């Protein structure tokens, strides 16, 4: 089958490659861009480990083909920290609150939570649980992750107020 | 977990897409948000030589009020439907059903047209479309036609659209007057497809008598269903006196093809369904009567 050329901005950098149409966005990021922070758990939309932002919206990168993201702006876990390497508020909160153990699920959680708190800076407990429902973690038991979301929300609100 | 190779087409206009679909015939499948199709391709449950991505056709997305109905373009994402103020005010049932679909990451890509064309009996939008007697606008190279929701779903994941037809938009009637709406479902994990669920739309007159009502059933057959018997029994009665539990029991009475699997027997699902109808009815009735 014929390859197609795709071009997208990934974490601010233009990436271009010739790809098979069946190459998922996740595999494009991992194999063509060598950005292996985007993890693949289930590859059919259930676990959330592969979550990235496409034009600002958190989506499953295993449920999109790279060709569909032609022209898009993509943010992966590698693009979440500040340019000088300082952790983002969400990342720092995950560390502080023991929101991770093995870390396999963490990129998906951090990207999802980053998008969620941008759209809903003052979430209720229930809204936080709802937002986290699309990401699975086999290690932490979720309590640390839930605390991390609340802590990050507080930090971000303070920063916005300051 | 990798889809088989396929040829990718990204038409930028509807006529172009329709021409491709008719030319490629059985070898082609429409790709919208991909949230149902890509998993099926990844698991290799099905293989298509060609995918026609309709995501770049601008005219297929958007929400517009037209006379007595709200017209939603097929590729409008579930997230856009859920965030739209017009949907919330003129078709509240659709707005309230949206957060029950999967997770926000799924709704960011999944489309209204994809969900309805996919016709999963456990999905929310097909049941809402059936409950509100929505009209499906479909197009083929031969022209356009409309299909009433009641004639659209004809089996598990199957619709009465011809293979060369595409769903372009869905028109949802706007209910005026003293109305109430309810949607309830039960799933084992938040965001999963429901084991059973119900949608209710209800209008009462000045004396709180039921003027019209519609009860939709989710996950209780091979298509979304209407509980016609329970609906006609309720019309004309005083909404304040109707026993919601009785409506629930009636709604699941006589259902013939309730699914059964390791998550629940048919009889369990039927009982859960009755309870979901009862709760959705109670909520809709309360809202309609202004309590
Ligand atoms: C983890 C997960 C959980 C989910 N949970 C739910 C849930 O709880 N409830 C629910 O309702 N859905 C759920 N979904 C499915 C989701 O809502 C899908 O987005 C939706 O069912 C299909 O929409 P799509 O735009 O992604 O369509 P696609 O996946 O692109 O297409 C689905 C099918 O419809 C056809 N099609 C699409 N658009 C058209 C059109 N305009 N004309 C003709 N044919 C068309 C395609 O050819 C394909 O056969 C879930 C999905 C995932 C991955
Ligand atoms: S790998 Fe994409 S959701 Fe699991
Ligand atoms: S930290 Fe191991 S899966 Fe979440």
Share of chain B above pLDDT 70, in %: 100
B148 close to B161: Cβ distance less than 8 angstroms: no
User: What is the CATH number that goes with domain B7-53?
Assistant: 3.30.43.10
Q: Does residue B276 register a pLDDT over 90?
A: yes
* Of A64, A116, A133, Cβ closest to residue B109: A64
Which of B65, B94, B66 is CA-nearest to residue B80?
Answer: B94
Q: Does residue A5 register a pLDDT over 70?
A: yes
* Domain covering B58-170 assigned CATH 3.30.465.10 in the classification: yes
A47 C-alpha vs ligand 3 centroid, how far in Å? 11
Q: What's the pLDDT at B190?
A: 84
Which residues of chain B lie closer than 8 angstroms to A44, CB-CB? 1, 38-39, 42-43
Q: Give the DSSP H or E segment for A159.
A: helix A143-161
B5 close to A20: Cβ distance less than 8 angstroms: yes
Q: Does A68 touch chain B (CB under 8 A)?
A: yes
CATH match for A4-76 among 1.20.1250.20, 3.10.20.30, 3.40.50.1820, 3.30.300.30: 3.10.20.30
Minimal-distance CA residue of chain A relative to B189: A133
How sure is the predictor about A162, in pLDDT bands with cuts at 50, 70 and 90?
A: low
Q: Which site among A40, A42, A60 would you substitute to test the B interface, given the most B Cβ atoms closer than 10 Å to its Cβ? A: A60
Q: Does A4 touch chain B (CB under 8 A)?
A: yes
Q: CA of B208, closest CA in chain A: separation in Å?
A: 34
Q: CA of A44, closest CA in chain B: separation in Å?
A: 5
How sure is the predictor about B291, in pLDDT bands with cuts at 50, 70 and 90?
A: confident
Q: CA of A90, closest CA in chain B: separation in Å?
A: 18
B84 close to B63: Cβ distance less than 8 angstroms: yes
Size (chain A), residues: 162
A15 burial (CB, 10 Å; 0-12 / 13-18 / 19+) is middle
Contact B189 A133 (CB under 8 A): yes
The stretch A54-72 carries a mean pLDDT of 98
Report chain B's mean pLDDT, rounded to a whole number. 97
Report chain A's mean pLDDT, rounded to a whole number. 97
Superfamily name with CATH number, domain B179-288: CO dehydrogenase flavoprotein, C-terminal domain (3.30.390.50)
Looking at the DSSP assignment, which residues form a beta bridge with residue A147?
A: none
The stretch A70-79 carries a mean pLDDT of 98
A115 close to A147: Cβ distance less than 8 angstroms: no
Q: Does residue A107 register a pLDDT over 90?
A: yes
Q: Which ligand is nearest to the CA of B109?
A: 1
Q: What's the pLDDT at A1?
A: 66
User: What is the CATH number that goes with domain A89-159?
Assistant: 1.10.150.120
Q: Does residue B35 register a pLDDT over 80?
A: yes
Minimal-distance CA residue of chain B relative to A115: B105
The stretch B168-187 carries a mean pLDDT of 97
Edge-to-edge strand ranges of the sheet holding A13-19: A13-19, A4-10, A73-75, A51-54, A57-60
The stretch B12-29 carries a mean pLDDT of 96
Which of B77, B73, B59 is CA-nearest to residue B15?
Answer: B59
The stretch B177-182 carries a mean pLDDT of 97
Minimal-distance CA residue of chain B relative to A71: B56
Q: What's the pLDDT at B131?
A: 98
Torsion of CA B86, B87, B88, B91, to 10 degrees: 120
The whole-model pTM stands at 0.97
In chain A, CATH 1.10.150.120 sits at: 89-159
In chain A, CATH 3.10.20.30 sits at: 4-76
């Amino acid at each position: 089958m014929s390859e197609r050329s795709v071009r997208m901005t990934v974490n601010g950098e233009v990436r271009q490659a010739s790809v098979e149409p069946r190459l998922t966005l996740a595999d494009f990021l991992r194999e063509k861009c060598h950005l292996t922070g985007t993890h693949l758990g289930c590859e059919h939309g259930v676990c959330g480990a592969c979550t990235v932002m496409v034009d600002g919206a958190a989506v499953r990168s295993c449920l999109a083909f790279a060709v569909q993201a032609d022209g898009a702006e993509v943010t992966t876990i590698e693009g979440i920290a500040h340019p000088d390497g300082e952790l983002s508020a969400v990342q720092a909160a995950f560390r502080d609150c023991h929101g991770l153990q093995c870390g396999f699920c963490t990129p998906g959680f951090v990207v999802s939570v980053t998008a969620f708190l941008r759209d809903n800076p003052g979430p209720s407990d229930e809204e936080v649980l709802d937002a986290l429902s699309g990401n699975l973690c086999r290690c932490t038991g979720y309590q640390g992750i839930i605390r991390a979301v609340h802590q990050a929300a507080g930090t971000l609100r303070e920063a916005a107020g300051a | 977990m990798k889809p088989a190779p396929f040829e990718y087409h990204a038409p930028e206009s509807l006529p172009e897409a329709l021409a491709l679909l008719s030319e490629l015939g059985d070898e082609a499948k429409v790709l919208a948000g991909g949230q149902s199709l890509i998993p099926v391709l990844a698991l290799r449950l099905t293989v298509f030589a060609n995918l026609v991505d309709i995501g770049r056709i601008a005219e297929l997305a958007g929400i517009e009020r037209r006379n007595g109905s709200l017209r939603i373009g097929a590729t409008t994402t579930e997230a856009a439907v859920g965030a739209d103020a017009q949907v919330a005010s003129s078709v509240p049932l659709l707005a309230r059903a949206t957060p029950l679909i999967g997770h926000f990451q799924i709704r960011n890509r999944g489309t209204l047209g994809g969900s309805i064309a996919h016709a999963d009996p456990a999905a929310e939008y097909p049941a809402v479309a059936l409950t509100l007697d929505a009209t499906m606008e479909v197009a083929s190279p031969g022209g356009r036609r409309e299909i009433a929701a009641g004639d659209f779903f004809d089996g598990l994941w199957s619709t009465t659209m011809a293979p060369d037809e595409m769903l372009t938009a869905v028109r949802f009637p706007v209910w005026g007057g003293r109305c109430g709406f309810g949607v309830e479902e039960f799933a084992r994990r938040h965001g999963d497809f429901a084991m059973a669920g119900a949608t209710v739309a209800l209008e009462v007159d000045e004396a709180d008598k039921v003027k019209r009502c519609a009860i939709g059933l989710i996950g209780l057959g091979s298509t979304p269903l209407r509980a016609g018997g329970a609906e006609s029994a309720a019309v004309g009665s005083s909404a304040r006196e109707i026993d919601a539990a009785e409506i629930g029991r009636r709604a699941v009475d006589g259902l013939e093809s309730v699914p059964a699997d390791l998550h629940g027997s048919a009889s369990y699902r039927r009982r859960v369904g009755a309870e979901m109808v009862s709760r959705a009815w109670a909520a809709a009735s309360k809202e309609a009567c202004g309590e």
